[in-house]
Structure 1
Amino acid sequence: MITDRIKSLDAILATAENKSLKRTLSGFQLMLFGIGCIIGTGIFVLTAAGAQKAGPGLMLAFAIAGVICIFAALCYAEIAATIPVSGSAYTYTYATMGEFLAWTVGWALVLEYAIAASAVSVGWSGYFVGSILNETLGIYLPPWLSAGPLALGGAAGGFINLPALVIALLVTFLLVIGTSESAKVNAVLVVIKVSALSIFIVLTLPEADVANFNPFLPAGVFGGWGSGVGAMGAAATIFFAYVGFDAVSTAAEETKNPQRNVPFGLVGSLLFCTVFYILVAAGAIGTIGGQPIMGPGGIPFPAGSEQLAEQCAMPQYAAALVCSDEALAHVLRQIGWSGVGNFLGFAAFVALPSVILVLLFAQTRIFFVMSRDGLLPEVLSRVHPRWQTPYVVTIFTGVVVALGAAFFPVGRLADIANAGTLYAFAMVAIAVMVLRRRRPDVERHFRVRGLWVIGPLAIAGCIFLFLNLPSDAMIVLPVWTVIGFLIYFGYGRSRSHLGQGITEVVDDIEGDETLIPIDPPKD
């Protein structure tokens, strides 16, 4: 059976016991950590794509996505506190539902992190070109060097997004040589991001005009299956703005009184960001309007499409929110705060590369663990003799991410990344319920109350958002999964360490590993 290989939970927990962590984090500290992880490209960049899908209903989309994330976050918190090792949803699934399903989750995470890193690179490029080069330095890149062929607003000769390509390769180089962001630097970046968005809210909300919110739902709540428009279609895209909260759940083992502080940190950070996002959307739409550009049949043109790019190249749409590559800075310039708009662009320019770094690091870590499990070629887990980093998989991933950033628009990249993320989140919700049923004896530093309600709600919410993605984004995941099946059955299953009778638990790339012989499962 393909579900027979389940990694020994006792072996995983034995490794975790060897590296017990001191409990120092309070609930408030955990919440601040979550806010720093969550606020990123989604709000800085995807406001335009979300408005094109839902218009003023973008505010409702933020609320819907936030609620679904709260359900998923609670599931993540329990299982992360129970299985506190690297590998994220891949490891959780391996320990509860077996190797094959773990492979599908790991393979989806590879897609999620790589595409998300490409999306952030494109988002950074928009602010770099608009706020740094154009507005501050007076340098104008030709359109064919600053936008991909189908990038929003790039109809006039877009060929390659050179800044996005360069930033992705630069971050890859930093990861290869072992450069990592310190806690102090990250804290400074969090302050910059939150301050910039707070200033945006203060300057825009007093200028908001109620008339700009009418009609509130120009494409309705449901735009139709596979259309990716309407409030639910926007929620499926805006979900990208919340990705990162799962990093909070991994801190459960370092939290004082986790039963109280973990849900406070998770739910608190998500609620804060949801309210923050809604206020930003209200300020942006209320000041300059955010009605979508409609296509045939009164349906908005798809965000990031060539048709929308052609409309955005017309003079009457030059100032439209939905046509901006740097939405928030653009709004401030339109209402007479150009200097502040440039500051906000500078904040995005400084802060977003750290998000690219974290995403690339997470992607290479998943690849690395899968390789060390024998499911992918061993060369991918090769560590550089000098820098002690997994340089082969990092370089390979960085090149793929850079190419994606160079040629694709941010909205489409975010939708594809969300498809993989939603699958992984749903599997985590299933895994935590399976583990609760099969191993009630395992110590849980955090336990979800009402799991048998919250778990199914998280799964249903993930499926619901997935079905409201554009059809091309939905298709990518099953196609990617089929490719994964071919690799698993053609290579990984026969070379799996677990299949050969060895459980290998990796807790750190440069750390220890535990090799535990077991009886190999019979195929």
Structure 2
Amino acid sequence: MLFGRTKSLDAILATAEKKGLHRSLGAFQLTLLGIGAVIGTGIFVLTAEAAQKAGPAMMISFVIAGAVCAVAALCYSELASMVPVAGSAYTYTYAVMGELLAWMVGWALILEYAVGASAVAVGWSGYFVGLMKSWGLDIPLALAAGPDGGGILNLPAVVISLLITGLLIVGTQESARVTAILVLVKVVALTVFVALTLPVLNGAHFEPFIPNGWGTYGVVGAAASIFFAYVGFDAVSTAAEETVNPQRNVPIGLIGSLLFCTVFYLLVAAGAIGSPLGAQPLRDAAGAVLAPGTSELTAKCQSVVATGLAEPLVCSKEALAHVLRSVGYQRIGDLMGIAAFVALPSVVLMMMFGQTRIFFVMARDGLLPGKLASVHPKFKTPHVVTAFTGIVVTLAAAFLPVGKLADYSNSGTLFAFAMVALAVMVLRRRDPARHRPFRTPAVNIVAPLAIIGCIGLYLNLPTLAKLVLIVWGAVGLVIYFAYSRSRSHVGRGIVEVDSDPNLQPELAQKPAE
């Protein structure tokens, strides 16, 4: 049967106990990791793209995207507390709806995390280049942007991607400590931004509030793009297998980090809109709104600056620093650039962290080559797949622009989130008696809302981003039927885990001192 291969929850939990990763993360660390994954490119970089689509109504866009994530988070929390293993939506789908759909979800998550990490790396590069320019050091365009941005290679994005890859190979605990420091930097920076911009907020800049309507290049379209600003929260669930008392701590980390970040997003958006720059979209000579990330918008931005006016918010690659400078805080604007410079790498880290753990668990199930699940004898991390992921992330960051990367990532994310919500409803009917440490409230309302919300946002992504998911999915199906299906442990009737200690981090011998 095409959809008949399911892996029982009991088998998944037994596998995790025998071939699990070291449990070292608590609720506080998970919440910090969640905040570190969420606050990043969406608010630091994609604010400009959201403004070009929705104008001041991007505040509504943040609420829409956050609401969809909130209902998805409640579904994630139930499954993550029941099945506290690596793999996130992939593992949940395997247990409930079968191997084929699980493969497709895992394949979509690869798109989410790898491309998402590349997007954040490119966003970091924009702040780094802007900061250097403020200090009198102009990085040549050829080395500061990919071909779509008029350059050849985004060298800063390449460097940060490679550094994060090395950090993840060293180990999760070290990564968590670094992330805790960077989360503090981001929270302080955004608090300062709110404190300096809200007192001088100009209410007139909120009119017209909805200049482009509600469509793809309006409020809902902006929500579909800045959905990327929230997606990091599900990376917390991929760390469930490395969490102490996951039944309690994973739901706290998921929901706590999401609520914390939503408040910040709305306050920061209000400060940016009310600044002297405003947030009104740029239009062509005929009055039509220009699509973000196009050469036409770039030309319009250049023409505005050439007249001696300040660069509009919708044109900036370092939006928050640019806003502070426009309010008269030149040096504090530089400090915001420094905050982004040191903090955005934590988002790259969490995206790559989630990516490697998805690869790890899919290889552990036999759907990908077992070598990918190898664990480093000293660092106890999946170093092979981490290195492979780092190469892919680096190449994408070197040549592609941030807006397109974010939209591509969103397409995979929305598919995975919808499958999680569906899995919750199916499992409630199929196994109602199973212990649920966290139960999604009003599941017959919350789960359908999550599915409808994900589909609605997907349909409002740019056409190319929607096609990326379809093409990526088709490639995944070819790989599944050509390689993975015949090698699947479930398909071959393998219940017990492999005895190879390299695939069992908990059993592997420690190296001699």
Matched-pair contact (CA < 8 Å) for 2:36–2:350 = no
Q: How does 1:358-377 map to 2 (within 5 A)?
A: 358-377=350-369
**1:344/1:509 Cα in 2 relative to 1: closer, same or farther (>3 Å)?**
farther
Matched letter for residue 476 of structure 1 = V
**1:339/1:255 Cα in 2 relative to 1: closer, same or farther (>3 Å)?**
farther
Unaligned 5+ runs, structure 1: 152-156, 224-228, 514-523
Matched-pair contact (CA < 8 Å) for 1:329–1:342 = yes
Q: SS in structure 2 opposite 1:449?
A: coil
Residue deviations 1:28-49 (CA, integer Å, cap 9, x gap) = x876664344212211111111
Residue deviations 1:168-198 (CA, integer Å, cap 9, x gap) = 1222233345475354433222221111001
User: 1:511 and 2:505 equivalent?
Assistant: yes
Q: CA RMSD in A?
A: 2.8
1:352 alignment partner in structure 2 = 344
Tell me how far apart the structure 1 counterparts of residues 272 and 255 of structure 2 sit (CA, whole Å): 25
Matched-pair contact (CA < 8 Å) for 2:80–2:251 = no
Tell me how far apart the structure 1 counterparts of residues 194 and 144 of structure 2 sit (CA, whole Å): 29
Residue deviations 1:282-332 (CA, integer Å, cap 9, x gap) = 111211111111247644322222222222222247511111111100111
Q: How does 1:192-341 map to 2 (within 5 A)?
A: 192-223=185-216, 229-248=217-236, 258=248, 266-287=254-275, 288-295=277-284, 298-314=287-303, 315-316=306-307, 319-341=311-333
**1:93/1:299 Cα in 2 relative to 1: closer, same or farther (>3 Å)?**
farther
Displacement, 1:354? 1.9
2:157 alignment partner in structure 1 = 164
Matched-pair contact (CA < 8 Å) for 2:78–2:251 = no
Matched-pair contact (CA < 8 Å) for 1:312–1:318 = no
Q: How does 1:172-191 map to 2 (within 5 A)?
A: 172-178=165-171, 181-191=174-184
Residue deviations 1:13-60 (CA, integer Å, cap 9, x gap) = 33456789899748xx87666434421221111111111111111111
Matched-pair contact (CA < 8 Å) for 2:374–2:502 = no
User: 1:135 and 2:134 equivalent?
Assistant: yes
What is the TM-score with the length of structure 1 in the denominator? 0.88
**1:508/1:470 Cα in 2 relative to 1: closer, same or farther (>3 Å)?**
farther
Tell me how far apart the structure 2 counterparts of residues 168 and 265 of structure 1 sit (CA, whole Å): 26
**1:94/1:374 Cα in 2 relative to 1: closer, same or farther (>3 Å)?**
same
Tell me how far apart the structure 1 counterparts of residues 27 and 361 of structure 2 sit (CA, whole Å): 27
Unaligned 5+ runs, structure 2: 508-513
**1:414/1:300 Cα in 2 relative to 1: closer, same or farther (>3 Å)?**
same
Tell me how far apart the structure 2 counterparts of residues 291 and 246 of structure 1 sit (CA, whole Å): 32
User: 1:126 and 2:114 equivalent?
Assistant: no
**1:147/1:247 Cα in 2 relative to 1: closer, same or farther (>3 Å)?**
closer
Matched-pair contact (CA < 8 Å) for 2:33–2:179 = no
Q: SS in structure 1 opposite 2:321?
A: helix
Matched letter for residue 134 of structure 1 = K
Q: SS in structure 1 opposite 2:93?
A: helix
Percentage of matched positions with identical amino acids: 60
User: 1:94 and 2:86 equivalent?
Assistant: no
Matched letter for residue 292 of structure 2 = A
Matched-pair contact (CA < 8 Å) for 1:329–1:341 = yes
**1:359/1:35 Cα in 2 relative to 1: closer, same or farther (>3 Å)?**
closer
**1:180/1:150 Cα in 2 relative to 1: closer, same or farther (>3 Å)?**
farther
1:115 alignment partner in structure 2 = 115
60-69 or 159-168, which deviates more: 159-168
Count of residues in correspondence between the two structures: 497
Tell me how far apart the structure 2 counterparts of residues 297 and 459 of structure 1 sit (CA, whole Å): 38
**1:251/1:64 Cα in 2 relative to 1: closer, same or farther (>3 Å)?**
same
User: 1:415 and 2:404 equivalent?
Assistant: no
Matched letter for residue 148 of structure 1 = G
1:518 alignment partner in structure 2 = none
Match of 1:147 among 122, 133, 145: 145
Tell me how far apart the structure 1 counterparts of residues 49 and 109 of structure 2 sit (CA, whole Å): 23
**1:508/1:212 Cα in 2 relative to 1: closer, same or farther (>3 Å)?**
farther
Q: SS in structure 2 opposite 1:240?
A: helix
